[in-house]
Amino acid sequence: MVTFVASVVIFGLLIFAHELGHFVVAKRVGIGVHEFAIGFGPRLFGRQVGETSYSLRVFPLGGFVRLRGEDPDEAHEEDSFQRKPVWKRFMVIASGPLMNFVLAVLLFAAIYFAYLGVPLYRSTAIGELIPGGRAEAVGLLPGDRILTIDGNAVADWHTLVAQINANPEREIIIEYQRDGRVQTVTVVPRRDPQSGIGLIGIAPQSQKYAVLPSLRAGLFHTLWFVRFLGASIVQMVTGRAAPDVVGPLGIIQIVGEVARTGVFNLLSLAAIISINLGLINLLPIPALDGSRLMFLVVEAVRGRPVDPRKESFIHFVGFTVLILLMILIAYRDLVRLEIFF
């Protein structure tokens, strides 16, 4: 039951954010919206507000925004998608993936705001000791403010860490202040086997419930994941890394496992999935947003649109291939989860 509820909430949130991006920008640039739906299949319930019908459907793993002009019979209408300039249509299509990145920023920011706190890198006060670390072994305590390392003044956390990192397995003298008294201690940083840098097992102080710093930390965290996941996708596409693809069933299993470890871990997973969704949708794959953006770029360069029938055929073929690929991935997930006898 936990897996089901968590999966519905996570998928619903990701889809809602994505489609909300399309919806809001379409409204802003004057494109009519027939329907804003979360889910696929028969309606559970819906409501008509002005020109737009808002609905929730039976199967929550999806959603759509139906714009005026997607039907060829409506292409001539003033608020039709097809009647708008290329840049406005580009904004409408791009806004879906971009909203997935915005959602990731907000989710990471919520974690920093209410759980982790924002690291105070301008301070040199110790916020936390890693159990079993060498700082703990020599008697350093949370709240100690480090003043110098080997006689060199440290003004912020980054300078402090750089000095420690540069001295693996070499004795250093740390001068620190505790309760107004200046004291010294000698410690030998442990060499990290992977990076080779020196570590003593300390973390900076952090501040909870800080709105702007949390948003800034959420933005940096999102940008880091965008670069990391983007590089991973490039490596898989170019064959430098083996494809490691998980389908909806595999994701549901992961969501269920993570949900049992705590709500903040679940929020972090949701942010990572949202970034993945945004990146994949920007790829020039037929039937995805990236492909539609590519056709708009071609139209802008040529000065005229691609034949709608040809574009529709390409999207149809791409959609069919995606469905077949999803079925294959779902089968692999079922085999991996040992569903079959």
Tell me, letter by letter, the H, E, C secondary structure of 301-322. Answer: HHCCCCCHHHHHHHHHHHHHHH
- CB neighbour list of residue 147: distance below 8 Å, 6 or more residues apart: 124, 153, 154, 175, 176, 177, 182
Backbone angles phi, psi at 29, to 5 degrees: -95, 5
Reply yes or no on whether 19 is catalytic: yes
Torsion of CA 265, 268, 274, 277, to 10 degrees: -70
CA–CA separation, 244 vs 254, rounded Å?
14
- Give the active site residue among 19, 51, 70, 77: 19
CA distances from 169 to 128, 158, 189, 254 (A): 22, 20, 5, 39
Q: How far apart are the first and last CA of the chain?
A: 23
Give which of 319, 104, 99, 322 is closest to 229, Cα–Cα.
104
Distance CA 85, CA 65 (A): 19
**Closest of 131, 134, 158, 137 to residue 146, by C-alpha:** 158
| Catalytically active residues, by annotation | 19
